[in-house]
A and B are shown apart, each in its own frame.
Chain A
Amino acid sequence: MSVLEIERLTVSFHRRDGLRRRITTDCVRDVSLAVARGEVLALFGASGAGKSLLAHAVMGLLPPNALAGGTMRFDGHVLDAPAQAALRGNRIALIPQSVGHLDPLATVGQQLRWAARRAGRPMTAPGAVAEALSRFDLAPAVAGTFPHTLSGGMARRVMLAMTMASGADLVLADEPSNGLDADNTARVFRCLKSFAEAGKAVIVISHDLPAALKIADRVVLLDRGQVVAEERADAFTSDGEALCAGYARSIWNALPQNGFSRACHEA
């Protein structure tokens, strides 16, 4: 059964022009998708396709001038604003993009403890913080350091540890490979895969399709706010014959193992 079901989600921004006329811009349009426990869903699209906005809409963290339409369900229950406020952090977790999402003036250990407490699972045992960090190859000493000393890969793993500590069932990873080298990218994606193997539902938002394909079960392609294709991940890794939609096909063509061919094999 799906943990998260999104039906016809639309996110629009309102602003007023010089004549105080209302201008509405749809940034996400009619998006429907679902993700089940144990599954990794890759949400792929170019920059500005509305991927992060979709994640923020699920979390209920859209900016004040944004409006979300459509319905979302979490574990079968309607996911409206009060439900989002109640589930945020403890059942639904967000892994943000960069080290800038950690408080610069609080130590890693403190922030890990805060995340756990906010999720209702305070870390009271003496070695709990060190243990939580060691699961993600982080030394216990990292707990006493400030975020600015962390490398991009370490910061990402700290946020993975915070997510793990929250015990969430649904994990939204926003560009988890942004600014990371291949080695660190692989490490982070392995951790995300292990989340799915532990029974969580994982949505990976990425523009790095080759890396995401290594762990994804399904791929949803987003283009200018709309879902243009939803495919099983192995459709991209095989010969590409299964891909019929134009955008999906052109992306398959652009994958490294397919020789970055720009030629179009339209059926």
Chain B
Amino acid sequence: MGSWKAFVLIRLVRLALVLAGVAVVAFLLAKLSPVDPIDAYLGPDIARVGPEQRALIAQKWGMDQPAGVQFAKWFSSILTGDLGWSVTYNASVADVISERFRSSIVLMGLAWLFSGIIGFSLGIWAGANPGRWSDRIIRLYAYVLAATPTFWIAILLLIVFSVGLRWTPVCCAAPIGVLPEDVTLLQRLHHLLLPLAALSILGIAQIALHTRVKMIEIMQSDFVLYARAQGGTTLDIVLRHGVRNAALPAITVLFASLGELFGGSILAETVFSYPGLGSATIEAGLRGDVPLLLAITLMTTLFVSIGNTIADVLYHVADPRISSASETWREVSQ
């Protein structure tokens, strides 16, 4: 399987180039940002700090050097595996990310899973009955939600369930004032509920719409006509032919939408003050915490790229019409 190796190699080289490109652009953007890291770090204490002290801090952080040198220093330390120090959290960037990632992965993973399962089911149902009431309701839901900003949904949920009904907590991943080791699983789930709902609701709409269109196309295909001619009932046809043929495009969309999931999680986590990667990103941006911001950016890029690659590969491996053709790998790797 020489073509396999070539494919993986080309993908890796491309991934490295994308990461390097993102690193340069992200660094430039951070440098162009109006937020001055030293001002943000000092906060109100700025009045008590003289210019000499400022210069001292700048020197200590290496900010007195030209941007090119700063970038070279940062980039070479990234290559050795050192992500730097986060002044916002006063911890190493690697530690901050791994801790934040652990709480975010639960939120994003579950939201991803739910939007996949529920969205796919709704899409299948709507697409199997186009024009019927169930289809209209599902479509209305999907169109409205696909056009709704995440933060607005999040705030709405907060107003209704936390403030109005008082069913769910207003913020955070655990009750305030409780030591992390004393938090029960039930309490964690209780706090996870609303952010998860906000994030899932939007993912569902996208998957449902994609699946619906695919399903309508399948139900009008020749092989479904033949299945009807064989006496297959609609349920039989949907389960045997519909689900099978609609699954692959849906999974592809699901993997390709990882980027939107990250974007959504930043907004949802901020609204709910959920201590995940998303809120850390906002914090890093506002405080001018460049090492943390860049590391999160790179990690997100890596995550999304891998998701897209999986989507690509899956489509070509799982479809028997394509996987048997050796041209596939050349086509994919072009």
Contact = CB atoms under 8 A, between A and B. Distances in A.
Contacts of B241: 103, 106
B214 to A, nearest CB: 13
B229 interface: yes
A89 B229 contact: yes
A118 B240 CA distance: 12
A63 to B, nearest CB: 9
A82 to B, nearest CB: 13
Interface string A161-173: 0100010000000
Interface in B215-272: 221-223, 225-232, 236, 240-241, 244-245, 248
Contact of B222 (A98, A105, A115): A98
A85 B236 CA distance: 14
Interface in A129-182: 146, 148-149, 162, 166
B223 A104 contact: yes
A93 interface: yes
A105 B225 CA distance: 16
Contacts of A96: 222, 225-226, 229
A94 B225 CA distance: 10
* Chain B interface, DSSP helix/strand/loop, else mixed: helix
Contacts of A146: 320-321
B223 A88 contact: no
Contact of B226 (A85, A102, A104, A105): A102
B319 interface: yes
Contact of A106 (B231, B232, B240): B240
B326 interface: no
A114 interface: yes
Contacts, number: 72
B240 A166 contact: no
Contacts of A127: none
Contacts of A100: 221-223
A61 B225 contact: yes
Name the residue in B230, B240, B320, B324 with the highest tally of chain A Cβ atoms < 10 Å from its Cβ: B230
Contacts of B236: 118
Contacts of B319: 104-105
A115 B230 contact: yes
Contacts of B231: 85, 88-90, 118-119, 166
Interface in B175-233: 221-223, 225-232
B230 A166 contact: yes
B239 to A, nearest CB: 11
A85 B244 CA distance: 24
Contacts of A101: 222-223, 225-226
Given A96-B225, A148-B321, A114 B245 contact: no
B240 A149 contact: no
A162 B226 CA distance: 11
Interface in B71-119: none
Nearest to B226: A101
B226 A94 contact: yes
Contact of B229 (A61, A98, A103, A149): A61
Interface string A37-74: 00000000000000000000001010000000000000
Given A98-B222, A103-B241, A119 B230 contact: yes
B246 to A, nearest CB: 10
B36 to A, nearest CB: 58
Interface string B315-334: 00001110010000000000
Given A103-B223, A118-B232, A162-B230, 7 more contacts: A90-B231, A93-B229, A94-B226, A101-B226, A104-B319, A118-B236, A146-B320
Interface of A: 59, 61, 85, 88-90, 93-94, 96, 98, 100-106, 114-115, 118-119, 146, 148-149, 162, 166
